[in-house]
Structure 1
Amino acid sequence: MEQGTARITVCFEDPFWVCLFEREQGGRLEVSRTVFGAEPRDQEVYLWLLEHWRGLRFSPPVAVPERDRRPNARRKRREAGEALRARGTGTKAQQALQLQREQEKTQRREDRRRRDQAEEARRFQLRQEKKKARHRGR
């Protein structure tokens, strides 16, 4: 069975608090972004995660290079502190979210184009029926 890792990052993106859910499995990274209103407490994030984890829409997977070695425990702790202090999101997470937004945008465009074509076909059919009715004198 393949192991994976998950990471939750809560950060402030003016004017809202945002929670990034990152999951990595088999060298692939997927990201989901959720907006909270006020600053969430740890318990609120945990409970929200338990209730909504299955409903999260993750971005398409992005390749992540494998790490060669384990970092020193002190370095790991220092980097975790830096990550908490740093503003914004990780570059890979931003790329994954951008990819998801672009795919949703193209999907919306396709749906809109199909709806417009169907509406135009309906109008054309209505005009044709009116022409026939006028031609018949009704």
Structure 2
Amino acid sequence: MQVNSSSTLTILHDGQFWVGICEHEDGGAYEARRIVFGPHEPTDEVVLAFVCEQWGKLGFGANMRPSLSDDREARETELLKRPTKINPKRMQRTIHREIERRGVSTKAQQAIRDGYEAGKSDRRKQGREERLLAEERRYEFRRQKRKEKKRGH
């Protein structure tokens, strides 16, 4: 009986971090692990060091089961169908578009943004009131001037 075994490592950007998808197929049983490399693209040396030092610790074969039952893992395998070689400029544009679409990334930044928005609406309201008061003063000044002209002095 011949048993086919294969392992692959695919590195991709998930919108926020660079992740590696480690897949292992052994005799019809499929397993996958997700490894986060961080916000910067991993160099070849980092990937080689990971494969040499950490691959054996991933625990493939410890609990053989088909892992496509989870939606998250299904999405990860769908990501693997995309081409892995992407033009750096295109990737940068995609990242910026995704950041703009998602908005601010941390809770602290979101709190700062909310405070800024609240201050902006307060400033608009205050500016509107000041404009109305200035307009009212100009109107009163014009009315007073007309009144003095009618007195004839």
Which TM-score applies when normalising by structure 2? 0.39
Compare relative contact order (CA 8 Å, sep 6+) and give the higher one, 1 or 2: 1
Greater gyration radius: 2
Bigger fraction of residues in strand: 1
Instruction: Using structure 1 for the length normalisation, give the TM-score.
Output: 0.43
